[in-house]
């Protein structure tokens, strides 16, 4: 079960989240808060897995509040302003819901959170073994810049090196930590290695990776 709270100064927005949450069987929305500080204090004493967090609030912005949270707390920003998406990316937010958002889009964010929670134990080691034509190779997540899917193969790009492995993107995503995100149907990037963010692409070292509208909700 995935536990969550929602923080938003607009009661109507909280009602939408409550309504959507009731339809997600693996999500338990424990509380909602119209006051950001009260919500933050609740989370400190009763930690949850996920926080749905508005950005524009009177006392403290969601951006500032997210920066005060523990790294393991997943954050999904909810806002009517798309210009904050880049900041959400920089803060390692799990997702970015642009109001008004549909139930299907809300469910997508919840599924992403559940997937990440399930991946945490494997990601804690900081590495994974990848099968290649030359045998098993130990891949350190910190060294991986991005991944590119080509047919039935995935190319892993490291600094000065490429590793080709036979697997699907869905299989690969289950192995990667939270800071690896899909920016395109054929690309997954390491957010910790992104040097420059533009509207339709990101820069990682010498490489430029595309960002599509379908997957760029956090960019």
Q: Write out the chain's pLDDT in tens, 219 residues.
A: 999 999 999 999 999 999 999 999 999 999 999 999 999 999 999 999 999 999 989 889 898 998 888 767 899 999 887 766 555 565 668 888 989 999 999 999 999 899 888 776 556 668 888 888 888 888 899 999 999 998 889 999 998 899 999 988 888 887 888 788 888 889 999 988 999 888 788 899 899 999 876 665 554
pTM of the model: 0.66
Cα–Cα distances in angstroms (integers) from residue 18 to residues 5, 29, 40, 75, 199, in the given order: 10, 7, 18, 16, 32
Positions of E strands within the chain: 2-7, 27-33, 50-54, 74-79, 95-98, 127-132, 135-140, 144-150, 153-158, 161-166, 180-184, 187-190, 196-197, 201-204, 207-210
Domain-by-domain residue ranges, the chain?
A: 2-122, 125-210
Second-level CATH architecture of 125-210: Beta Barrel (2.40)
* CATH number for region 2-122: 3.40.50.2300
Is residue 33 within 8 Å of residue 7, measured between CB atoms? yes
Eight-class DSSP state of 142: G
């Amino acid at each position: 079960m995935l536990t969550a709270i929602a923080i938003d100064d607009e009661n109507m927005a909280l009602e939408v989240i409550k309504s959507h949450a009731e339809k997600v069987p693996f999500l338990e929305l424990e509380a909602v808060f119209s006051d950001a500080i009260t919500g933050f204090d609740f989370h400190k004493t009763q930690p949850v897995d996920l926080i749905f967090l508005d950005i524009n609030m009177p006392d403290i912005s969601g951006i500032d509040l997210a920066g005060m949270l523990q790294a393991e707390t997943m954050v999904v920003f909810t806002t009517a302003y798309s210009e904050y998406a880049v900041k959400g990316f920089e803060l390692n937010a799990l997702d970015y819901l642009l109001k008004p958002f549909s139930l299907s889009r809300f469910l997508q964010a919840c599924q992403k959170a559940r997937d990440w929670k399930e991946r945490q134990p494997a990601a804690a080691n900081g590495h994974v073994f990848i099968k290649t034509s030359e045998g098993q190779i130990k891949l350190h997540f910190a060294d991986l810049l991005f991944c590119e899917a080509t047919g039935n193969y995935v190319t892993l790009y490291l600094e000065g090196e490429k590793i080709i492995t036979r697997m699907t993107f869905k299989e690969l995503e289950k192995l990667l930590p939270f800071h690896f995100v899909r920016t395109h149907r054929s690309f997954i990037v390491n957010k910790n290695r992104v040097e420059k963010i533009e509207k339709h692409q990101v820069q990682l070292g010498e490489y430029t990776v595309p960002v599509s509208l379908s997957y760029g909700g956090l960019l």
